Structure formats: structure tokens, C-alpha cells
Amino acid sequence: MTTDIKPAIPIRTITEKHPYSICFVCLGNICRSPTAEGVMQHLVTKAGLQSYFHIDSAGTASYHIGELPDSKSREVAGQHNVILRSRARQLRSDDLSEFDLILAMDHENYSDILALDRKNLFSDKVALLRSFDPYPNHMAVPDPYYGGLDGFEKVYEIIRRSCSELLEVLETHIEFES
């Protein structure tokens, strides 16, 4: 991982009794953040670490509450053997205290997340997902909603790279119990 982009995120010892919780956040919670949730869940399951993590996603807006992820997100994820199971929900202020790490897909959502933190108690938990991407470009995961499958594939690859690097960082903090 490129160390000059790594954010100072709160990392603690991760155990099965005290799993590390991550919430991925985009605008409507039907494209980027459920894809990130599904990819991260896939990666931790593939590594046999699913009991060490709690992974979720949410949107900063209420546009799509209760909906499945966008059909194009599901199609592209499915082509990579990743199943997107979540339903859209809106980020709540309680999420700021409940999650260890909240990862925004872009700068606008990052600002919207911080706006929920009226007392500035949780800003150290909030970062951009692409701060883990070895090729961060402008740090935002582009919104593919109005585009074709190519845009969804590009977003999938960005998310996969970023989540792989994030998991690599977090794995060093797992304490396996005997």
C-alpha cells in the first residue's frame, strides 16, 4: 500500500468477541456502498475472517430506503462471484458511535457524514475509501448510477483494490484466540 495516502484510522485489536465494524457510505446506498459492503464481506469470508468483522453500508440520503442494490451493481458484482445482499438504509447519527470505521465514497458524502457529528467526537473514524487505493486518483469513487456497465465495472475494480488494501492493514491487528 502507498503509505503517503493511508489515513490515520482508529485501529484496535480485533477479536472474535470484539469484531471490527465498518460502514461504507455513498449517497443513495444502492450502487457504490453496497458494492463495497459486498466486496469486503466476500474478501473477509474468503480469508476465513468473517467472525472478526461486522460490515454494513448506508446512504447519506433517504432516496432508496429498503431497495435492493442497483441491478447493474448486482450484475457486475455477480460476474466476480460477489453477492450483494443488503437493502438501502440511511446513515444515522448513532452509526458514528457504533462503527469503528466509516468510509465515504466521495468528498460530498464525507462532508455529509461529518455534519452528523455535531460535537466533533467521531471525525477520526471517518475516511475516504480510496485513501486505501494504491491508485487513488482524485480520492473519490465515481458514481456510476447514470452510466452503463463499464462504469459499474470501473467502480467495482476501484472498490476491490481499496478493500483489499484495507483488509491487509486490518489483518495485522487480528488476535486469534486459541
Domain boundaries, the chain: 20-171
pLDDT at 1 over 80: no
Place of cell 464481506: 41
146 vs 14: CA distance, rounded Å? 38
Please report which helix (H) or strand (E) contains residue 26, including its range. strand 20-26
pLDDT at 9 over 90: no
Burial of 144 (0-12, 13-18, 19+ CB in 10 A): buried
Q: 20-171 belongs to which homologous superfamily?
A: Response regulator (3.40.50.2300)
9 vs 6: CA distance, rounded Å? 8
Residues with catalytic function: 26, 32, 143
Question: How does DSSP classify residue 140?
Answer: P
pLDDT recorded at residue 2: 40
| C-alpha triplet 10, 31, 139: angle, nearest 5° | 50
88 vs 68: CA distance, rounded Å? 6
Please report which helix (H) or strand (E) contains residue 94, including its range. helix 93-98
> The dihedral of CA 53, 59, 65, 71: what is its sign?
negative
Residue 10 pLDDT level (bands cut at 50, 70, 90): confident
CB atoms within 10 A of CB 110: 21
Express each pLDDT in 128-148 by its tens digit. 999 999 999 889 999 999 989
146 vs 112: CA distance, rounded Å? 22
Express each pLDDT in 40-85 by its tens digit. 999 999 999 999 999 999 999 999 999 999 999 999 999 999 999 9
Express each pLDDT in 85-131 by its tens digit. 999 999 999 999 999 999 999 999 999 999 999 999 999 999 999 99
**Which has the higher per-residue pLDDT, 3 or 91?**
91
Residue 6 pLDDT level (bands cut at 50, 70, 90): low
Question: How does DSSP classify residue 1?
Answer: -
pLDDT recorded at residue 147: 86
